[in-house]
């Protein structure tokens, strides 16, 4: 059984100096000794209320953004009160402060951040752009993740995760699907992240990205064999197919009426179990399963349609049988009355 509970990667104020945020032009001007302060929230916060003197809603370990409106408000306050507000604000358990639009943070805020070891970043970019860029970076960095032993492909536009015991044929099936025109995301190790709104995104793990191990052949490079259009860097995980060894004693849903789900990072993903046996075209079956799932999402369920027709036919025959029995009973009653 794979561990799919996931972990939340640690993030610190110093990570805002990452190359991924180079376009924001964040420049550290104070608080160099506080770069290890933790960041726990994937959303940033504009602490307008805190600057106004109400601090309870400033979330601990959440990146704070000071823009033009906050500094304009501070200028309306007497110098002593403005200093008290900034003193109370920087005393809170915040990871860092980002000042936008090229505004000079001033000696008071700079001095407080330096003394309290609160990293103070400045940037010339607009506040909205900074918030958008930081939010995308934080969501990506703080998304809970789990590493699964499986293969992830885009099959007909559907993110399909193949699971199963080692040697069941996941990689061979994936290779056949790629040959049919579908695209590989990850083989062997799939890193799955859970984003807001319960969206699961899968990608490959590091050095083995876009490579596959095929028993008897060794390691192959998929884009070199099939072209760059045969692979994707990442894709949503929307459907799970559990490949299992064929067992005549195994209980298999013959009609497809039963609904099963795979729990991945707390998200229930629709799942089907597919027995693997010699002579079965597993790639074709996976392709059909993905298409059938897409039809179900659009409201068409072949199994339920057949079941409904069978139910209606049974009800019709039952009603017809009841009518026949009643008619026979009336005939017998009429015959007895005539005999009298």
Helix (H) or strand (E) holding 58: none
Beta-bridge partners for 150? 163, 188
Distance CA 47, CA 20 (A): 25
Among 9-23, 67-81, 143-157, 215-229, where is mean pLDDT lowest? Answer: 215-229
Q: What is the pLDDT of residues 48-83, one digit of tens each?
A: 999 999 989 898 999 999 999 999 999 999 999 999
Catalytic one among 149, 297, 322, 327?
A: 149
Q: Does residue 254 carry a catalytic annotation?
A: yes
Give yes or no: 149 in active site.
yes
Confidence at residue 217, expressed as pLDDT on a 0 to 100 scale: 84
The token pair at 103 is 């505004």
Neighbouring-strand partners of residue 240: 161, 271
pLDDT level of residue 337 (50, 70, 90 thresholds): low
Verify whether residue 235 is a known catalytic residue. Answer: no
CA distances from 5 to 72, 121, 262, 263 (A): 46, 35, 12, 9
**Distance of alpha carbon 51 from alpha carbon 109, whole angstroms:** 12
Q: Range with the lowest mean pLDDT among 60-74, 162-176, 224-238, 290-304? A: 290-304
Spell out a b/e string for 122-157, using b for 16 or more CB atoms within 10 Å of the CB, else e.
bbebebeebbebbbebbeebbbebbebebbbbbbee
| pLDDT band per the 50, 70, 90 thresholds, residue 131 | very high
Residue 180 and residue 13: Cα distance in Å, rounded? 46
Please report the sign of the dihedral spanned by the C-alpha atoms of residue 9, residue 12, residue 14, residue 20: positive
Active-site residue among 85, 187, 188, 210?
A: 188
Per the structure block, which two tokens stand in for 173?
A: 């099936």
Active-site annotation holder among 215, 254, 298, 336: 254
**DSSP one-letter code for 60:** T
Q: What is the pLDDT of residue 79?
A: 93
Q: Residue with structure tokens 């849903």? A: 253
Report pLDDT for 317: 73
More confident residue, 138 or 306: 138
Active-site choice (170, 183, 211, 271): 170
Which pLDDT score, from 0 to 100, does residue 117 have?
Answer: 96
How many CB atoms sit inside 10 A of residue 326's CB? 10
Question: Could you report the per-residue pLDDT of 86-126, keeping only the tens digit for each?
Answer: 999 999 999 999 999 999 999 999 999 999 999 999 999 99
Q: Is the pLDDT of residue 321 over 90?
A: no
pLDDT for position 322: 66
Residue 205 and residue 312: Cα distance in Å, rounded?
Answer: 51
CA distance 251 to 190: 28
Least confident of 44-48, 138-142, 209-213, 328-332: 328-332
pLDDT value at residue 95: 96
The answer to whether residues 138 and 39 touch, using CB atoms and an 8 Å cutoff, is yes
pLDDT at 257: 66
Name the β-bridge partners of 272.
Answer: 241
Mean pLDDT across the chain: 87
- Percentage of the chain beyond pLDDT 70 is 85
Please state, in angstroms and as integers, the Cα–Cα distance from residue 218 to each residue in 153, 175, 195, following that order. Answer: 20, 13, 35
User: What per-residue confidence (pLDDT) applies to 1?
Assistant: 45
Q: Among this protein's residues, is 188 annotated catalytic?
A: yes
Whole-prediction pTM: 0.75
Query: Residue 147: what pLDDT?
Result: 92
């Amino acid at each position: 059984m794979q561990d799919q509970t996931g972990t939340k990667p640690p993030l610190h104020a110093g990570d805002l100096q990452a190359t991924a945020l180079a376009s924001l032009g964040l420049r550290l001007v104070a608080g160099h000794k506080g770069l290890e302060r933790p960041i726990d929230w994937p959303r940033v916060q504009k602490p307008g209320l805190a600057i106004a003197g109400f601090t309870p809603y400033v979330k601990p370990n959440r990146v704070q953004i000071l823009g033009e409106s906050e500094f304009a408000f501070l200028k309306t306050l007497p110098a002593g009160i403005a200093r008290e507000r900034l003193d109370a604000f920087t005393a809170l358990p915040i990871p860092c402060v980002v000042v936008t639009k090229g505004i000079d943070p001033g000696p008071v805020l700079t001095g407080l951040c330096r003394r309290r070891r609160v990293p103070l970043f400045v940037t010339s970019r607009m506040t909205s752009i900074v918030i958008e860029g930081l939010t995308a970076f934080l969501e990506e960095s703080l998304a809970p993740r789990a590493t699964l032993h499986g293969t992830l492909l885009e099959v007909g536009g559907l993110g399909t995760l193949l699971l199963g015991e080692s040697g069941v044929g996941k990689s061979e099936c994936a290779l056949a699907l790629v040959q049919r025109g579908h695209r590989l995301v990850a083989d062997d190790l799939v890193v799955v992240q859970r984003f807001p709104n319960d969206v699961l995104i899968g990608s490959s793990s590091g050095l083995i990205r876009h490579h596959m191990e095929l028993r008897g052949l060794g390691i192959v490079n998929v884009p070199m064999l099939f072209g760059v259009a045969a692979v994707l860097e990442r894709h949503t995980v929307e459907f799970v197919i559990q490949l299992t060894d064929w067992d005549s004693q195994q209980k298999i849903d013959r009609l497809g009426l039963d609904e099963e789900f795979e729990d991945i990072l707390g998200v229930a993903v629709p799942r089907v179990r597919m027995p693997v046996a010699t002579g079965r075209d597993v790639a074709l079956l996976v392709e059909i399963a993905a298409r059938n799932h897409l039809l179900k999402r659009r409201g068409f369920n072949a199994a339920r349609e057949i079941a409904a027709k069978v139910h209606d036919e049974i009800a019709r025959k039952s009603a017809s049988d009841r009518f026949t029995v009643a008619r026979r009973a009336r005939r017998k009653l009429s015959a007895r009355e005539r005999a009298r």
